[in-house]
Copies of this chain bind each other. A is one copy, B any other.
């Protein structure tokens, strides 16, 4: 199979671009359907006319359907899209990239989505889709009861959106308390949504951000509800978490100028589940809250990290080095940038 791809790259290299272009269109429509020509062209950064030529073709091929509401992907198109993602990955040598990351970062499995989150919103959704598939596979894996811990963030939200399962014995919990500015991206919210789509149970952890250490301790010691949830969280066998840029996450948490300056001075570039780490994988700061810590990750059966976008490359690398990851789902832009830093 790889042989065929190399063969084609040699003798019909122009094919790659065309195929990827059509793949991108199909993928975008798949997420935004129904959508019109002009809006679609805008999102993909193509001129209307060029896009039109392609969608006309895709229509003729029976992959897209047109209505007065806009374009949508046909069933056949969706089948094709699924197969195509693997193929595009190989075509762009992402398989090799994945292998490289697996070996150099000691991760069990790396999945790279073609594209760049920073430039195409749809890529983040695709990361979510891929993560959703992986999660469902893990849950379907025989064992009766699972405890799934999730962090917050838009990528996690994208995953939750793409999950659909029937796992009444599974419990979904937030990995840590608090954190998150928008309600829809808080870990608690995501746990709820995910549990809903999984038909699973869920528990929430109500511990606000920025409480002092003493108050936190007293809550943990005295509140039996919180205590129970924390115990469940600590028993999680699957963790799905996002990774963020240290500075952006710190701002989002409303860190004071002083603390922020310290953070930067300590070289913090990445953040995951409330811990900040530098590019060498050293944890330099931990937010004051309850739930999982980086050290706990080793005990968890499957740790799944999600993040994409060239801007997050450093952050991703720092978190991976600081923790134990079983599965990483990222995008092409981040992956290529990470490789440069190795």
Contact = CB atoms under 8 A, between A and B. Distances in A.
Q: State the copy count for this chain.
A: 2
A4 B4 contact: yes
Interface residues of A, number: 21
Contacts of A301: none
Interface string A2-17: 0110011011111100
Contacts of A166: none
A12 B7 contact: no
A273 B61 CA distance: 50
Interface in A5-63: 7-8, 10-15, 18-19, 22-23, 61, 63
Interface of A: 1, 3-4, 7-8, 10-15, 18-19, 22-23, 61, 63, 80, 83-84, 87
B22 A83 contact: no
Given A1-B1, A3-B83, A83-B3, A19 B10 contact: no
Contacts of A23: 11
Contact of A15 (B12, B63, B87): B12
Contacts of A3: 83
Contacts of A1: 1, 4
Contact of A61 (B11, B61, B80): B11
Contacts of A19: 8, 11-12
A83 B6 CA distance: 11
A61 B12 CA distance: 10
Contacts of A13: 61
A80 B7 CA distance: 7
29 contacts: A1-B1, A1-B4, A3-B83, A4-B4, A4-B87, A7-B80, A7-B83, A7-B84, A7-B87, A8-B15, A8-B19, A10-B61, A10-B63, A10-B80, A11-B19, A11-B22, A11-B23, A11-B61, A11-B63, A11-B80, A11-B84, A12-B15, A12-B18, A12-B19, A12-B22, A13-B61, A14-B18, A15-B15, A15-B18
